[in-house]
Amino acid sequence: MAQTLGLVLLSFFTVSILLVPFINLLYKIKFTRQKQKTRDMFEVRTHIFDKFHEHKSGIPVGGGALIIFVVTLLYLLTNYLSPLLGVERTSIYPYKQEINVILFTFLSFGLLGLYDDLRKTFGFRGVKFWGLRFRVKFIAQWALAFVVAFMLYFALGINIINITFFDVFNLGIFYIPFAAFTIVAFANAVNISDGLDGLASGLILICLTALLVMSSSILDTTLSIFLGLLIGSLIAFLYFNIWPARIMLGDVGAMSFGATLAVAGLLLGKPIGLVIIGGMFILEAGSSLVQILSKSIRKKRVFEVAPLHLWLQYKGWQEPKIVFRFWLAQIIFAIFGLWLAFF
């Protein structure tokens, strides 16, 4: 545990040193949020979203890219140097395969998100777009998620889920679609939540801390090291991301961290605990899903606007108030999820 806490501090100070020059670089290359006329998945203009977010135009995006770079570099160095320094490494899986699963998820979803961010910001052939079309992005997410699910099933031999108060269930080959669904769901849930200053990054930080407690309890240092590095980096990033934000995660961070959060829960064998620990992400994604289904089937809206944080803005809540109260709710969800996991 002392090693992991040291790595939290190492990643915190590394990102803290690099973040201001990185923000200046993003300004220089104009990798900033563009003022757009956004549309939803039905190609309908989202006037309410634009109203509440037009003041964020010009803020650098892609903060997740720096975190991904730093965490990946430090993670590889730590795993290489640990045996040389005589640090004991324990894991419930073959550690090389576990590292491959974690890094593939972290980097592949990050690259997909980065491509979406670049498309939103710069467009192609002189034409600006508002990111990837929902269908294209969704298919790409599923393709990557199935690759990760195959790695979990065949390389690590994971095929069970542990449901507190019930039993351990062996899903067999059906674990693959279950894992893929979990990964896609959390990648989108975090991406949906990344709408207010400090909201998604703060919620992720709380979830990762809970998962770190779980991984440390089973002595999975391979996962604990990664979670510690990501937590330290997010603490440093959050200082510049809280209201008023100087930098945003972007899709590069939201997709990567959401998918990796899901994989961490799957590696721990606690997907139900993950759902509870990530309760606010579930509420955010759930509100959007209800809205989408209602518009598709009933041709009517359930809410004036979705997701939940945007609806609260529409109802008159101030941005910092929403963020701080979501954080508090997430802390309670995390404690409840940990309680169930250790029951």
The predicted pLDDT at position 48 comes to 65
191 is in an annotated binding site: yes
pLDDT of residue 321: 96
Total number of domains in the chain: 1
User: What is the full per-residue pLDDT of the chain (343 aa) written as tens digits?
Assistant: 778 889 999 999 999 999 999 999 999 999 988 766 565 554 555 656 666 667 678 899 989 999 999 999 999 999 888 776 666 777 788 889 999 999 999 999 999 999 999 888 887 544 444 456 778 889 999 999 999 999 999 999 999 888 877 778 899 999 999 999 999 999 999 999 998 999 999 999 999 999 999 999 888 889 999 999 999 999 999 999 999 999 999 999 999 999 999 999 999 988 888 999 999 999 999 999 998 888 888 878 888 888 999 899 989 899 999 999 999 999 999 999 999 887 7
What six digits make up the tokens of 321? 């108030």
In which residue are the tokens 């309890």 written?
Answer: 217
Which residues share a beta bridge with 168? Answer: 162
List, as one string, the DSSP characters of 237-301.
Answer: HHHHHSSSPS---HHHHHHHHHHHHHHHHHHTT-HHHHHHHTHHHHHHHHHHHHHHHHHHHTSS-
Task: Consult the annotation and say whether 251 binds a ligand.
Answer: yes
**Which among 312, 307, 319, 286 is positioned nearest to 40, based on CA atoms?**
307
DSSP for 5-59 reads HHHHHHHHHHHHHHHHHHHHHHHHTT-B------B-TTS-B-HHHHHHHGGGTT-
What's the domain range around 248?
2-341
Of 270, 257, 269, which is closest to residue 203 (Cα–Cα)?
257
Cis peptide upstream of residue 83 (ω within 30 degrees of 0): no
Question: What's the Rg (C-alpha) of the chain?
Answer: 19
CA angle 138, 250, 117 (to 5 degrees): 65
Query: What are the start-end ranges of the E strands in 91-212?
Result: 160-163, 167-170
| CA pair distance 221, 227, nearest whole angstrom | 10
pTM, two decimal places? 0.92
What pLDDT sits at residue 85? 61
